[in-house]
Structure 1
Amino acid sequence: MARPVIGIVGNFFLINDRYATHSAGRMNSDAIAEVSDCIPLIIPSDPRLASVEELLEVCDGILLTGGRANVHPEEYGEEPTEAHGTFDRERDAVALSLVRGCVARGQPFLGVCRGFQEVNVAMGGSLYPEIRDLPGRMNHRMPPEGTLEEQFAIRHRVTVGEGGPFHRIFGATEVMTNTLHGQGIKAPGPRVVIDGHADDGTPEALFIEGAPGFALAVQWHPEWQAAMDPVSQPLFRAFGDAARAWAGRGRETLRAAG
């Protein structure tokens, strides 16, 4: 049987400050191909090019990647400020709709960093523009200098809920992760269950209550060295297993339902 297809949500990027592209980090496609054992397919984040319905028909699962641009605060009813950073409204339009579509269909998705924030906003939640400005919070941002190994290094603990989906995947309630984000969850959406926190209380893992399929997101970057990391590897394997189950059963269920 052909491997399932995972749509990797791309980011707008200018090469040499003038040539527009839709891009996704190679570590994302490596994790999907080598650990999830699926076919990675980069999705252009532009709603003019393909509808959400078409994308969900082509893909068996969706990976919502990290990115420099932040979700526009108008998506959760707030005015933009300088602290909110830069935006990509086209990615907002694609990614938020993909989350809602996956939840409705029971189609698997995994959110990472910005993708974690997108899942919360798509489900009616809000975000803080800058976590490090909150009392008692640590700086979760990527170090501005150093090698990739230094920037993506494991930095803090995440504690997940006993008996929850992340506990079942990791086989532990405490795991060590990296941290490379500035924003974070302010108020979770009505169906968003925060199932993992950093020691400073920052939400780091979530799932969607009542979702019929794999509907998980993490605030860290598990795609970094996913084939070797003891936390990343089982997460991407579980995602791949969910995509294989969808490819084998989920599509037929949708067709039978008309």
Structure 2
Amino acid sequence: MTRPIVGIIGNHHLINETYQVHAGGVMNTEAVSCVSGCLPVLIAADPRFVSVDELLETCDGFVLTGGRPNVHPEEYGEPATAAHGDFDRNRDAITLPLVRACVDRGQPFLGICRGFQEVNVAMGGSLYPEIRDLPGRMNHRMPPDGTLEEKFALRHKVTFTEGGPFHHLMGAPEVMTNTLHGQGIKTAGKRIVIDGYAPDGTPEAIYVEGAKGFTMSVQWHPEWDAANDPVSRPLFSAFGDAVRDWAAQKTGRLLKTA
């Protein structure tokens, strides 16, 4: 039986400062395949090669991955500064309208780190360029040194809204997560519900209010050890269930029109 397709948003990279590639972390592929139970397909997030309409029809769900470049601040009405870091306008041109289309259609997506920020911006929200520069905030960035295990180690708690969707999914009002981001939500977009916070008040878990499909998105990186982590596994499992539901409904729609 063919597995439903999850489009994993790729990032643009230069190898040896000359060779251009679209790439995605193996952790994302493994989480989608082994935990969500879906077929992972890497998406070249560039409007020269793909369109939002094609992606919506080809894929059953999407993982909006993390990435070093940030959403360009012009997308939320602010000028770019050195603090905003690097950008990928091609990815912006695909992911932001893709999020809005998925919300309208009820098509599932899971936002991770930059993807979490994309969901907020797509719905009209804004971002802080550097969380650690704000009074009372901790440094959420990835540790510069150490092994991969040390960089993705659990570093702070996330507290969910009592009785909210994340509380129900995790079976606990509070969990431990890793943290590897520099930016964060400044103002929440229209219909964005912040359902979880770090101890310093940084938003960590969101969903789109009233959306017909799965829209859960997180600021941390649940793809790390997703098969074993007690926080990551239910998130990717629930996402996989939502993708299968969408694929089944799509098959039903096609049969009715055949």
Spell out the pairing of 1:52-63 with structure 2 (5 A cutoff): 52-63=52-63
What residue is the counterpart of 1:81 in the other structure? 81
Tell me which amino acid in the other structure corresponds to 2:147.
T
* Cα distance per residue 1:50-100 (max 9 Å; x no partner): 110110111010000000000000000000000000000000011111101
Equivalent positions of 1:1-258 (< 5 A) are 1-250=1-250, 252-253=252-253
**SS, match of residue 14 in structure 2:** strand
RMSD: 1.3
Q: What residue identity is the alignment partner of 1:159?
A: T
Could you tell me which runs of 5 or more consecutive residues in structure 1 were left unpaired when the two chains were aligned: none
Contact 1:106 1:250 in 2 (8 A): no
Distance in 1 separating the partners of 2:110 and 2:33: 15
Q: Helix, strand or coil: the match of 1:233?
A: helix
SS in 2 for 1:200: coil
Which amino acid in the other structure matches residue 115 of structure 1?
Answer: G
Unmatched 5+ residue regions in structure 2?
A: none
Query: Offset at 1:255?
Result: 8.7
Deviations 1:168-205 (A, max 9, x none): 21111101000000000000001100000001000000
Name the SS for the 1:215 alignment partner: coil
Conserved in 2, the CA contact under 8 Å of 1:103 and 1:212?
yes
Give the counterpart letter for 1:17 in structure 2.
E
Shift in CA distance, 255/75, structure 1 to aligned 2, threshold 3 Å: farther
Please give the alpha-carbon distance, in whole angstroms, between the structure 1 residues aligned to 2:85 and 2:98.
23
CA distance in 1 between counterparts of 2:41 and 2:164 reads 30
Distance in 1 between residues matched to 2:73 and 2:175, nearest whole Å: 31
CA distance in 2, matches of 1:177, 1:76: 28
- Identity within the alignment, %: 69
Q: Cα offset for 1:250? A: 4.5
Please say if residues 35 and 233 of structure 1, whose CA atoms lie closer than 8 Å, have aligned partners that are also in contact: yes
Aligned residues: 257
1:243 maps to amino acid:
V
Residue aligned with 1:63, SS: strand
Local SS of the residue matching 1:141: coil
State the distance in 2 between where 1:135 and 1:252 align: 52
Q: How far has the Cα of 1:252 moved from its partner? A: 3.8
Separation in structure 1 between the aligned mates of residue 189 and residue 245 of structure 2, nearest angstrom: 27
The TM-score normalised by the length of structure 1 is 0.97
> Bigger CA drift: 175-184 or 160-169?
160-169
1:141-194 deviation digits (Å, cap 9, x = unpaired): 000111000000000000111221111211111010000000000000011000
Q: Deviations over 1:18-65 (max 9, x none)?
A: 110110000000000000010000000101111101101110100000
What secondary structure sits across from 2:216 in the alignment?
A: strand
Distance 1:255 1:85 in 2: 48
Give me the whole-angstrom Cα distance separating, in 2, the residues matched to 1:151 and 1:233.
19
